[in-house]
Structure 1
Amino acid sequence: MARILLTDDEEAVRGFVRRALEMDGHDVTPAFDGADALDKLNEADGAFDLLLTDIRMPMMDGIALALSAARDYPDVTILLMTGYADQRERAAGLDALIHDVVTKPFSLDQIRAAVADALRAGENRLRA
């Protein structure tokens, strides 16, 4: 299946989402903040199908991470997560760079569906 870089500073959320995506057969690499994710993205030379990241995190937030990832690895599909309305508004200007924003809290089915949709869109974009 897909190779996913999952970034969230909350260990419980990271673990919940990781298990859900691994149950679907995905290879999930966890990162605890944007700086950690950017290091892992660079180490892999962008070899991820999806960057799934929280917006609000210490060190480097998800918006800064998304901007860096989109600039350096334009083939990586980006899906953001947030539980804050103001953060969702900040992401609204990134429509050309990100696939979507998933609102927390979400159910197992909702995050799986959002990831599947983002991966399909990424595949279609790369074929075009």
Structure 2
Amino acid sequence: MARILVAEDDDSVRAFVDTALRIKGHDVVLAEDGGLAAEIIGEEEGRFDLLLSDIKMPIMDGIALALDVGARFPAVTILLMTGFAEQRERAHGLDALIYDVIPKPFTLSDLVAKVDDALAGKPVEIVPLGRRGLDG
């Protein structure tokens, strides 16, 4: 399966994502913030298939992390996640760099399906923001 770096500052979300991805057989490396994730991916010389990062984090947010990883390791697929509509809008300028943004909260099956799609390089289905439940 894939080697995935997860950057998430919320302990419970990080544990949920870790469990979901390991159940699918992925090799998962965890980071508590974007700064640590940037260090890990640098030390590993970009040897990850996917970076799955929260957008809103202390130290280095997911957008800064995506810009850094995209510049240094363009072969790494980047998938972001957020519970904040305004954060999702910030990621729209990164369309060429990131695969997609997963809205929180998400189910285990939603997460696994989106990760599978990102790893397979499937086209992203465009759904208006109002239909994703991010209006308020």
Q: Normalising by structure 2, what TM-score?
A: 0.89
* SS of residue matched to 1:68: helix
Match of 1:49 in 2: 49
Moved over 4 A (4+): none
Q: Which amino acid aligns with 1:42?
A: G
* SS of residue matched to 2:97: coil
Q: Deviations over 1:46-102 (max 9, x none)?
A: 000000000000000000000000000000000000000000000001000000000
Q: Which amino acid aligns with 2:108?
A: L
* Structure 2 Cα separation of the partners of residues 121 and 41 of structure 1: 21
Long gaps (5+) in structure 2:
123-136
* Structure 1 Cα separation of the partners of residues 59 and 23 of structure 2: 30
Match of 1:118 in 2: 118
Post-superposition offset of 1:43: 0.7
Q: Which amino acid aligns with 2:15?
A: G
User: Does the alignment pair 1:64 with 2:79?
Assistant: no
Match of 2:5 in 1: 5
Instruction: State, as a whole percentage, how many aligned pairs show the same letter.
Output: 58
Specify which structure has the higher proportion of helix.
1
* SS of residue matched to 2:121: helix
Long gaps (5+) in structure 1:
123-128
CA RMSD of aligned residues (A): 0.8
Post-superposition offset of 1:15: 0.3
Q: Normalising by structure 1, what TM-score?
A: 0.94
